Structure 1
Amino acid sequence: MNPIIFFSVLATFIATLIIIGLRAAKQTKTTDDYFLAGRSLSLHQVAFTLIATQLGGNMLIGTSQWSYAYGFYGLLYTLGIAIGFLILASGFAAKLQEGGVGTTAALLEKRYDSLFLKKFASIISIVSLFGILISIVISSRALLISIGMHSEVAFALLWCAIIIYTMIGGLHAVVAADTAQVLFIIGSIGSISLYSFLMRPHRLLSLSELWQSQQLFVKSSQLDISRILATLLMPALFALVEQDLAQRFFAARSPRVALMAALAAGIFIIVFGFVPVYFGMQAKLLALPLPTGANPFLSMIEFITNDFVFACAACGVLAAITSTADSLLCAISSNIAQDFDYEAIGIKRTLVSSQLITLAIGIAAVVGSFAIHQNIIDVAIQSYALSVSCLLVPLLYACYSAQPRANAAIAATCIGGGSFLLFLIYPLALPAALVALPFSLIGYHVCAALAPH
């Protein structure tokens, strides 16, 4: 690829993000504006930012890696995301919006009247989201390597832009950038995909032919059932507890907006999820040579297009990565800034302090990414599992129980987390988080039965 063309497109992309952040900063006057956009987001704003939150490097880069090895089983991760959105659209998103709070941890405090539960839930959320953020940073580096950009300059410029526009504009900037990024992704990657489906350059196989070629990939009997279930179910269950999605529902202007946006996002993810699977499988069947660290998704696009189109596609994937990264940055910052009281050490909850927290989280994630060398989907799945094990049962009872019990919720959280760690050390045939959930549920009911109201 021509580096001049790529850096020109990348520079335009980065400049656009910074401009969006500066414009959004004019609307951001308070911490409520910074983290919740004044609780005024419309249907299209919530829908676009939900799509952007999940349409990240894990979905595009990670799914194509899975499809290169496992064929259509690469759809598992994307299908899990879509299932999560459909569950949210069935009513759970409205419950979150009606909570009238800023974080899932604060919702637990409101329903259970437990400060301990709030702080514990917030810590779990921060740890989980930070793990996912690191996986996003890793995927951005993998992307640059796959297109021959081994220089750290492009990597540093990209992350400086993400951190800066998120820091100065908050959720207003994130939503505006997400809308622009999703439209750019549809325009670039969507157009290339449509061209490939219809014109089939270089004798690409059709979807039906790919289906018939599934036996050439790793067979289901050779896959670890625990890994299959974790890849499918953890994204779906995590969607119910993750702060970055909940933050959008808290900021929606009405419960109906929250529900319809979740439904629209789920439908889009299902349709778009075939794109990385299609290109990942094509790369394997064409025996496309992949350099060390390269990704089949972008390698295929480079193979069938010219330098300019490929540069646009690469920036489209970068847009997917940044759209998830800014959401995670904003969500982690909201947990740290809103769920803890720092006045005892002389720090007040102000807009500036919130911005500095966002800056610190961004820098820490970039530094931390150099210490992780796992598959990016595996990193994300482990991060999902921790929150699901600890928080799913208490949050469901907080939303649907008429008289949620604080002691029972604390027991469910501790037993769920403890069981998860135990089965992580001594693994069974099923994913640790899925085994831990029944223990968490039993813990809630036993404690509720034994403890007085």
Structure 2
Amino acid sequence: MNYYVFLSFLATIVVVTLIFGKLTAKKASATYSDFYLSGRSVKFFSLMMTLLATQFGGGAIIGSSEAAYTSGWLAMCYSLGIAIGFIILSLGIGGRFRTLNISTIPEVFEVAYGSSGLRRFAGLVYIVSMFLILLAVCIAMRKFFYSIGFTSDALYVGFWGVVIIYTMSGGLSAVIMADTLQIILVLSLFLLVYFTMDASSLTLNTALTPNASSIPVISWILMPCLFTIIGQDMGQRCFAAESPRAVFLATFGAGVLMVIASLFPVYLGIMGAEAGIIKGEEGIIMRVIQMVTNPVMSSLFAAGVLMAITSTANSLLCSISLNIAMDIPFIRNMPETSAKWVSRAVTFVVGMAAVAGSYLGSDVIPIMLEAYGLTVTAFFVPIVMALIYKRLSWFAGLASTIMGTTVFVLATLLNPELPDFMPKEVLGLVLSAIVFLVVQGRAVRSKNMKMIELKV
């Protein structure tokens, strides 16, 4: 690698993103809506780019390439699940979220079910699960710095500090501006590397045999798909869109681009396996790139990967901060005049906690999948049903949430032998749906049970 090229490129991006934070700071200072939802005025192209940037990060690049090294093209399951989630959002769910005029996904429980208690519980679970995903992204970032030769943590901590600073300064507006620039650069650099690399320079030694059984296909497709539909990071962007039509176009476009962009990292992982490369601690993707390109191209590719990871990290950081500010009552009830310092203080604390927590683990996709599973099994059914039914039983939402949460927690702790077609997440979703439909059906027939009519 050419470290001069890498650091120069990185320094340029750092300066530009800090400028973005400065430019958007004034607009983001007025209210929580301005800071976290960019005034609900995000247009189609910027929305599509930030949606893609949020998902095309450590999991889709580093995690998928590592999985492809051992399991071949089945590693596409993770990115395919996210892309399917985008397409489902484009079919009307994303636009429906926008018409609710809410700020967080847990707020659905208060608007649709009339339950502030469920909203508080959902908010806490969302904060925990999103933070676990942020930890996984930070782990991916730290490991990536190690993989390109920066074994000292100074650059990792300093770079993450920059991410925190510009997210604190400009909120979602700064994040979207940075995401748009970074994802365009990432896709351009990936295309450049693909068309200039020399795959023939890899000598086929003892090729590794793909082990398809190492990937739980159903979980790898289903959990990212469903979490994309109800995840706070995706919801925040739908809420911030200028219109439901912008949501439709942006989510569909992001789904198509997600599949196309993810092919390259998976391909690199497969190339490494076919060449019999021993990946070691630094991972496979940079080992392959350094063997098939020159030092300058390797440096640019490394910068592109780092930008992709950063885009995911800052989006998660902003989304977690939104959940904390809007779903924890004593913070939400603070006067609007406190929005400027509260939103920034929360963002700073979450960011620093993620840096510290990234030293406690080493896996990426497994952590993400557990976080996805908890949120999906607990809340997917009641949230989606809130977009379908015009009148809802608050007890149906409560019973469904309790069932999904209980199944996931017990299955995680007890680890029972379940058939491949019925992992714990699917079992939790099925039982949660059954409970919801039974209770909702009884509520419709009963004149005594309180019903909430959803108005949008």
TM range (shorter): over 0.9
Given that residues 117 and 410 in structure 1 are in contact (C-alpha distance below 8 angstroms), is that contact kept between their aligned partners in structure 2?
A: yes
**Cα deviations across residues 383-408 of structure 1 (Å, max 9, x unaligned)?**
00000011101101111111121111
Matches within 5 A, 1:212-227: 217-220=209-212, 222-223=213-214, 227=216
Matches within 5 A, 1:232-381: 232-290=221-279, 292-342=280-330, 349-373=338-362, 375-381=363-369
Matches within 5 A, 1:1-40: 1-28=1-28, 29-40=30-41
- SS of the equivalent of 1:239 reads helix
Whether 1:395 aligns to 2:396 is no
Number of the residue aligned with 1:412: 400
Q: Counterpart of 1:42 in structure 2: which amino acid?
A: K
- SS of the equivalent of 2:229 reads coil
Q: Counterpart of 2:410 in structure 1: which amino acid?
A: L
- Following the alignment from structure 1 to structure 2, what is the Cα–Cα distance between the partners of residues 147 and 96? 41
Given that residues 164 and 314 in structure 2 are in contact (C-alpha distance below 8 angstroms), is that contact kept between their aligned partners in structure 1?
A: yes
Percent identity reads 34
- Following the alignment from structure 1 to structure 2, what is the Cα–Cα distance between the partners of residues 249 and 65? 31
Number of the residue aligned with 2:440: 448
Whether 1:163 aligns to 2:155 is no
Whether 1:439 aligns to 2:440 is no
Q: Counterpart of 2:20 in structure 1: which amino acid?
A: I
Deviation of the 1:204 alpha carbon: 8.5
Given that residues 89 and 262 in structure 1 are in contact (C-alpha distance below 8 angstroms), is that contact kept between their aligned partners in structure 2?
A: yes
Given that residues 147 and 299 in structure 1 are in contact (C-alpha distance below 8 angstroms), is that contact kept between their aligned partners in structure 2?
A: no
**Cα deviations across residues 328-376 of structure 1 (Å, max 9, x unaligned)?**
0111111110122226997875121011000000001111111123x21
- SS of the equivalent of 1:240 reads helix
- SS of the equivalent of 1:16 reads helix
Given that residues 25 and 170 in structure 2 are in contact (C-alpha distance below 8 angstroms), is that contact kept between their aligned partners in structure 1?
A: yes
- How has the CA–CA distance of structure 1 residues 345 and 266 changed in structure 2, closer, same or farther, with 3 Å as cutoff? closer
Number of the residue aligned with 1:209: none
- Following the alignment from structure 1 to structure 2, what is the Cα–Cα distance between the partners of residues 47 and 272? 14
Unaligned runs of 5+ in 2: 444-448, 451-456
Whether 1:194 aligns to 2:195 is yes
- Following the alignment from structure 2 to structure 1, what is the Cα–Cα distance between the partners of residues 175 and 313? 10
- SS of the equivalent of 1:41 reads coil
Given that residues 97 and 250 in structure 1 are in contact (C-alpha distance below 8 angstroms), is that contact kept between their aligned partners in structure 2?
A: yes
Given that residues 61 and 265 in structure 2 are in contact (C-alpha distance below 8 angstroms), is that contact kept between their aligned partners in structure 1?
A: yes
- Following the alignment from structure 1 to structure 2, what is the Cα–Cα distance between the partners of residues 12 and 306? 22
Given that residues 138 and 358 in structure 2 are in contact (C-alpha distance below 8 angstroms), is that contact kept between their aligned partners in structure 1?
A: yes
- Following the alignment from structure 1 to structure 2, what is the Cα–Cα distance between the partners of residues 152 and 344? 36
**Cα deviations across residues 106-154 of structure 1 (Å, max 9, x unaligned)?**
1221111110111111111111100100000000011111111101111
- Following the alignment from structure 2 to structure 1, what is the Cα–Cα distance between the partners of residues 330 and 410? 34
- SS of the equivalent of 2:61 reads helix
Number of the residue aligned with 1:208: none
- Following the alignment from structure 2 to structure 1, what is the Cα–Cα distance between the partners of residues 332 and 227? 33
TM-score for both structures, normalised by structure 1? 0.92
Deviation of the 1:259 alpha carbon: 0.7
- SS of the equivalent of 1:273 reads helix
- How has the CA–CA distance of structure 1 residues 271 and 344 changed in structure 2, closer, same or farther, with 3 Å as cutoff? closer
Query: Does 234-243 or 440-449 show the bigger shift?
Result: 440-449
- Following the alignment from structure 1 to structure 2, what is the Cα–Cα distance between the partners of residues 27 and 306? 43
- Following the alignment from structure 1 to structure 2, what is the Cα–Cα distance between the partners of residues 346 and 27? 20
- Following the alignment from structure 2 to structure 1, what is the Cα–Cα distance between the partners of residues 348 and 331? 20
Given that residues 204 and 282 in structure 1 are in contact (C-alpha distance below 8 angstroms), is that contact kept between their aligned partners in structure 2?
A: no
Given that residues 13 and 315 in structure 1 are in contact (C-alpha distance below 8 angstroms), is that contact kept between their aligned partners in structure 2?
A: no
Deviation of the 1:5 alpha carbon: 3.3
Given that residues 110 and 116 in structure 2 are in contact (C-alpha distance below 8 angstroms), is that contact kept between their aligned partners in structure 1?
A: yes
- Following the alignment from structure 1 to structure 2, what is the Cα–Cα distance between the partners of residues 40 and 263? 19
- Following the alignment from structure 1 to structure 2, what is the Cα–Cα distance between the partners of residues 223 and 306? 33
Q: Counterpart of 1:202 in structure 2: which amino acid?
A: S
Matches within 5 A, 1:163-182: 163-182=164-183
- SS of the equivalent of 2:45 reads helix
Matches within 5 A, 1:421-436: 421-424=409-412, 425-427=414-416, 428-429=418-419, 430-436=422-428
Which residue of the other structure, out of 221, 225, 230, is the alignment partner of 2:219? Answer: 230
- Following the alignment from structure 1 to structure 2, what is the Cα–Cα distance between the partners of residues 67 and 182? 23
